[in-house]
Each structure stands twice: as C-alpha cells, then as structure tokens.
Amino acid sequence: MLNDPLANVLSVINNSEQRGMKLCMSKPSSKLITRVLEIMNSRLYIGSFRVIEDGKGNVVEISLIGAINKCGAIKPRFSVKEGSYERFERRFLPAKDFGILIMSTSNGIMTHTDAKARGIGGKLLAYCY
C-alpha cells in the first residue's frame, strides 16, 4: 500500500531520468498526479504522458526528454501565504528563476509563479528543476 502516490510517481520519474531512460511507467494514477504531469509537460520538463486504464488504479506511461535535474514531493505540505514565496524558493530550488514549485490553491493546481501573479497562497505539493 502506498502512502503518497504523488511522491512515488515523482521518484520513478527522477530515477528513470538519472538512468537515462526514455519511458517510465508508474501506478496508480489520480487527478492530482495527472494535473501535476500536465504542468510539468507544459513547462517542458517531460514529454507526453498517457493514462492506461487497467481496472486496478490505472497506469501512467510518461515519456522523458532528459530535461529534469531533480524532482520530488514536498513533505509536509507547507502552507504558503501570498507574500512568502521567496522563502520556499530558496529552500527547494537551486537558484532564482530556475525550476518550479507546484502548489494546490483555491483556484486549482498551478506553479508558484502563476500563484504569485494572481496574488494567492496555497499548499506546496512538489518541486522540479
């Protein structure tokens, strides 16, 4: 039994990237995992992905393009107020304007730069650079 499926998917992606693989598969799938992968795809960290329905929690097949240095889940899921993004950028990202923090907000799941532009806070889910 998995305690955190998002952390499992990001760990599989990170390990597969480090080994130089072009394709990885992870199980199970959820709406949260799909939305995080959509954000990573739109920011060109991963290639395409697809959800394969198998009747037992579904499988996610992810094509990798070699653009990820590191990615992972943030535990515990810290709450971020609208003016305190810099603190968490310094903690989880290696340099200013390098990488993304993925967060859950009242307006949906988005990157920290989008949340900053909208002036809202939320909870941190993952990082990728």
All CATH 3.30.1370.30 domain ranges in the chain, comma separated: 5-63
How far is Cα 62 from Cα 52, in angstroms, rounded to an integer?
11
More confident residue, 97 or 110: 110
pLDDT of residue 2: 75
Q: How confident is the model at residue 11 (pLDDT cuts 50, 70, 90)?
A: very high
* Positions of CATH 3.30.1490.10 in the chain: 74-128
Q: Which of 17, 58, 62, 59 is nearest to 37 (CA)?
A: 62
Fold classified for 5-63? Ribosomal Protein S8; Chain: A, domain 1 (3.30.1370)
pLDDT at residue number 1? 55
Average pLDDT, the chain: 95
3-state secondary structure of 30: coil
**What is the C-alpha to C-alpha distance for residues 43 and 53, in angstroms, rounded to an integer?**
26
The pLDDT of residue 55 is above 90: no
- Bridging pattern class, strands 59-63 and 71-73: unpaired
Helix (H, G, I), strand (E, B) or coil at 121: coil
Query: What DSSP letter does each residue of 102-114 carry, written as one string?
Result: EEEETTEEEEHHH
Instruction: Give the tokens for residue 31.
Output: 């709406």
Burial of residue 114 (number of CB atoms within 10 Å: 0-12, 13-18, 19+): middle
pTM (2 d.p.): 0.93
Pick the CATH number of 74-128 from 3.90.1010.10, 3.30.1490.10, 3.20.10.10, 3.40.50.300: 3.30.1490.10
Q: Tell me the average pLDDT across 30-41.
A: 96
71 SS3 class: strand
Averaged over 59-79, what is the pLDDT? Answer: 96
First-to-final CA distance of the chain: 29
Looking at this protein, which amino acid is placed at residue 114?
Answer: D
Given a cut of 80, whether residue 35 has pLDDT beyond it is yes
What is the mean pLDDT of the segment spanning 74-93?
A: 94
